[in-house]
Amino acid sequence: MISRHMNVTAIAFAALIFFIIGGCTPEEETEDESDPPEEEAADDEEADPEQEESDESYDYGVSAGHPDAVDAGMEVLEEGGSAADAAVAAAYAISVVEPFASGIGGGGVALIQEQGEAPEAYDYREVVPEDGIPASDIGVPGFVAGMTDIHADYGDSDWQELIDPAIDLAESAEVSDLLAEQIQSSEERLPVEQLDQLYPDGAPLGPGDELEQAELADTLREIRDDGGEAFYEGDIAEALDSEIEGLDMDSLANYEVGRHEPATGEFAGYEVIGAPPPLPGANVIQALQILEERGIAEEERHSTAFIHNTAMAWRLSQQFFETDVGDPDFIDVPVEELTDSESNAGLAEEIPDDSLLSVDPEQPYGGMDPNTTHITVVDEEGTVVSMTNTITNFWGSGEYAEGFFLNDQMARFDIGRDGNNEPEPGRRSVTWSSPMIIADEEGPVMGIGSPGGERIPIMLTQVITDWAGNGADLEGAVEAPRFHIEENALIMEEFPATEQQDDLTDIGYSELREPPTDLYFGSIQALAIDRESSALSGATDDRREGDWSSDTKD
């Protein structure tokens, strides 16, 4: 028995020594195996890209078609608001000081992309009313709904604070040269008797005069205090129902913002992001990819080859725009085919070096000169908003109610062919507004857009090609003279030397013409992020009254 006891004691002693040496119980061993060493955990934290991304701060800024809109957006950013907040504030502000271009009686489209996230699109353009298109071509306005949804999804600031700058401007603003020009030139088509604020005692306001829009200020207060419901279901809706032919309570109450995936495609090592159909984002990408295959990066910006290839690339893309693009809620649009680089490389081979591509005998749309306004915003987190708003033609339909002008967007159902753009209740028309975002592998690095009607796509093609494809700085790309092709004529801001003019006419261009108006080639509003320094660059497009500003968070 003594021997047996000694053996048990020895075994127990050995076990005790084993656990002491091991430094833990079997249960503690299991826990240690599942927990990483503290040093490894610290390394993992340091390597966490999301943590690094959240600590990165960017310059913030606003580019818009009027300095007052830039100021409104910058004030929001300086107070800690998001890019979406600033865009909403700038959009309302510019609708007051440029009532001929955009406003709560119209609509628009916006792209938003955060760093490291997928882009999103908001189509808040006008739709066909329940009873069809009225003689005025007024559609159900979407501007207020769009601003409301964008703020709900991406906003940080109080809604009321975003509308206050516009209310202040409505109470008193200075008439700019461009606004005075539009007031004076549009007198015959506007209801002057309703517009004492623009035509006091029947005489148009001039540059530097004070503009007081008391009725608009009251309408904006209702939207500020009661939100979008004030416009679509409240007193404003009732006024529109009673005063504007074609608009009714049901059409207003049933309005919904369109939500579709943005068009995307590769160009010059970047991802180009465009607005979804029925806008031409996919067609701008298509033109860029055609140009890349044509070796556009090797061509000098003002060369015959650059001009010819760009004109023909847009001619090809425009044909697809007119035959294939429509409202995706009503037809299937082959976006992936339009933005497929291999398919577009094949199209590039169709462009002859020494002649023009033939034009479909059915003439493209050519109506009144349309007008829009564009806003680009970048916040301190690097989020980019690219937003184009419009009431379509200058002063829209010319009809006025509750302090604002109503759109004539329904006229855009004249664009296109083959039944791709046929009106029916709730449908959006094809049009040329084209906000864009350019992104690298980390996220957005540029927002860009412009007014300019049917020239918008080819203008953006030129500037993006110059900046992303040819390495031009943003200011140089924006300042470079622009051109457009109309039938077989080239409309050019600056004529080349006589020898180059001869080269272009030898290719087949029927003539070189000057633009018919100073506003013909729009006003690019763009901001670009320097990925290495997080600094922001912009450009002032002197073709209109656009401006931009940026700052760094302290």
Q: What is the dihedral of CA 263, 257, 373, 93, to 10 degrees?
A: -140
Q: What is the CA 45 to chain-centroid distance, rounded?
A: 36
CA 97 – CA 67 distance, rounded (Å): 10
Contact 224, 160 (CB under 8 A): yes
Report yes or no: 496 and 302 within 8 Å, Cβ to Cβ: yes
What single DSSP character describes residue 234?
S
Name the residue among 112, 413, 108, 388 with its Cα closest to residue 262: 112
Q: Calculate the alpha carbon distances from 247 to 136, 236, 404 in Å.
A: 11, 12, 15
Q: What is the DSSP letter of 106?
A: S
Helix 83-97 to helix 143-154 angle, to the nearest 10 degrees? 160
DSSP secondary structure of 191-231: -GGG-TTTSGGG----TT-EE--HHHHHHHHHHHHHTTHHH
- Rounded Cα distance between 494 and 372, Å, is 24
Helix (H, G, I), strand (E, B) or coil at 27: helix
E strands of 27-150, at which residues? Answer: 60-64, 107-113, 120-123
Helix (H, G, I), strand (E, B) or coil at 257: coil
The yes-or-no answer on residue 148 being catalytic is: no
CB distance 488 to 356 below 8 Å: yes
Ramachandran bin of 114, using left for φ above 0, alpha for ψ from -120 to 50, beta for the remaining angles: beta
Which residue in 219, 45, 67 sits closest to 547, CA to CA?
67
DSSP 8-state code for residue 518: T
- Residue among 94, 138, 88, 89 nearest 110 (CA): 88
% helix / strand / coil in the chain, to the nearest 5?
Answer: 40, 15, 40
Query: Taking the CA of residue 296 as centre, how many other CA atoms within 13 Å lie in the half-sphere pointing to its CB?
Result: 33
User: Could you give the 3-state DSSP secondary structure of residue 356?
Assistant: coil
Query: Nearest 5°: phi and psi at 392?
Result: 85, -105
End-to-end Cα separation, the chain, in angstroms: 84
379 three-class SS: coil
Beta-bridged to residue 485, according to DSSP, are 490
Catalytic option among 304, 310, 372, 373: 372
d(CA 367, CA 412): 9
DSSP 8-state code for residue 120: E
Are 487 and 25 within 8 A, CB to CB?
no
Q: Which residues are catalytic?
A: 372
